[in-house]
């Protein structure tokens, strides 16, 4: 049975992964030595440590509540309320969590047997990508996989990512037109770096957000179309809200695509193409548009075959 303290820990953990989604893409410090990666990583590590502390308190509280339930005498024969899933139950019920822990164990073994264990543990000065940072990534991943249980949580996560993507995209567009107030040493007008400090990084982030934006845009279009077909004249606010939502997601999607183009990174463009094809395939499957499913699957196979032919020598 979940207690108030356990529920509070759940909220802290969710606030942690939402904070990581906000601060990691947006934060940078022009007064530090490296400006981007080390500063972002240190902030993300701190958030992950708070989430680990919340997990520890939640585990102890759940164990205390279960011990109290077993020790006490139940006066009523009614069915007890379902227990909140513990981390172990979540691991057993969710295979990706087990795979993540196996990956962490493999990473730890590689760190111990490394020719430079200190560097493998803490990461290099430029990136800080070591076992400690990878553990922070996996803490956030496992927390989301274990505690994201409701549609409201999922929509809240989507909304956070979409809101963060707008300043990232807008700042990249500002850099391209040469009105960035920060005097960078390198040229950021040819290949924009935005708040992530690297054109490949910013494009890689945005190509993961574009399918979410497209999903929200299609949902807003469906709602707006439904209101238009209903012909209701008494209530003006629902159709107006649908139109505003449709316009907002359209502008957001346009800004993301423009920033991706301004990054001039060919690898993310291929990733975006693959993501959009997969999104279209899943969308047609969910809505049972079988003709479009066959068409998209055939087009995807043809594009993959064409790319394979182009890459092969001679």
Residues in contact with 110: Cβ distance below 8 Å, sequence separation at least 6, in sequence order: 120
Asked if pLDDT for residue 304 goes beyond 90, the answer is no
Mean pLDDT (whole number) for 223-246: 68
Q: Is the pLDDT of residue 81 over 70?
A: no
The count of residues in the chain is 314
Q: Where are the domains of the chain?
A: 1-64+84-149, 167-263, 265-314
Position 263 scores a pLDDT of 94
Structural contact between residues 191 and 229, judged by C-beta atoms closer than 8 angstroms: no
Q: What is the pLDDT of residues 96-140, one digit of tens each?
A: 888 888 999 999 999 999 999 999 999 988 889 999 999 999 999
pLDDT single digits (tens) 185-228? 888 889 999 999 899 999 999 999 999 999 999 988 888 777 66
Please give the Cα distance from 288 to 312 (Å, whole number): 36
Question: How many Å apart are CA 115 and CA 123, to the nearest integer?
Answer: 13
Q: Mean pLDDT across the chain, nearest whole number?
A: 87
- Residue 151 has which token pair? 């549609």
DSSP state of 124: -
Q: Look at 104-113, 210-219, 236-245, 294-303 and tell me which has the smallest mean pLDDT.
A: 236-245
Read off the DSSP letter of residue 203. H
d(CA 82, CA 290): 40
Q: What is the DSSP letter of 192?
A: -
pLDDT tens figures, 166-185: 999 999 999 999 998 888 88
pLDDT band at residue 1 using 50, 70 and 90 as cut-offs: low
The CA distance from 288 to 308, in Å, is 30
- Residue 259, token pair as written in the block: 């920033």
Going by C-beta distance under 8 Å and a sequence separation of 6 or more, which residues neighbour residue 67? none
């Amino acid at each position: 049975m979940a207690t108030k303290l356990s529920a509070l820990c759940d909220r802290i953990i969710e606030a942690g992964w939402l904070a990581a989604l906000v601060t990691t893409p947006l934060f940078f410090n022009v007064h530090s030595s490296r400006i981007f990666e080390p500063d972002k990583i240190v902030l993300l590590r701190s958030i992950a440590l708070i989430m680990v502390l919340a997990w520890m308190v939640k585990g102890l509280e759940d164990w205390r509540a279960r011990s109290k339930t077993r020790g006490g005498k139940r006066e009523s024969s009614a069915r007890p309320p379902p227990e909140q899933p513990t981390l172990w139950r979540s691991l057993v019920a969710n295979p990706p969590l087990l795979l993540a822990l196996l990956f962490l164990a493999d990473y730890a073994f590689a760190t111990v047997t490394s020719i430079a264990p200190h560097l493998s543990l803490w990461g290099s000065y430029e990136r800080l990508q070591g076992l400690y940072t990878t553990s922070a990534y996996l803490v956030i991943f496992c927390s989301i996989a274990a505690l994201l249980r409701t549609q409201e949580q999922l929509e809240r996560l989507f909304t956070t990512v979409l809101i963060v993507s707008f300043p990232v995209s807008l700042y990249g567009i500002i850099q391209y037109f040469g009105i960035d107030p920060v005097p960078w040493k390198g040229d950021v007008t040819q290949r924009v770096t935005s708040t992530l400090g690297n054109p490949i990084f910013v494009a890689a982030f945005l190509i993961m957000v574009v399918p979410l934006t497209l999903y929200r845009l299609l949902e807003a279009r469906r709602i707006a179309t439904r209101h238009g077909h209903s012909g209701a004249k008494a209530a003006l606010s629902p159709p107006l809200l649908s139109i505003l939502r449709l316009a907002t997601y359209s502008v957001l999607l346009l800004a993301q695509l423009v920033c991706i183009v301004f990054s001039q990174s060919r690898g993310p463009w291929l990733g975006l193409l693959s993501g959009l094809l997969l999104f279209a395939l899943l969308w047609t499957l969910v809505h049972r548009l079988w003709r479009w499913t066959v068409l998209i699957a055939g087009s995807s196979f043809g594009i993959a075959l064409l790319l394979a032919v182009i890459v092969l020598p001679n």
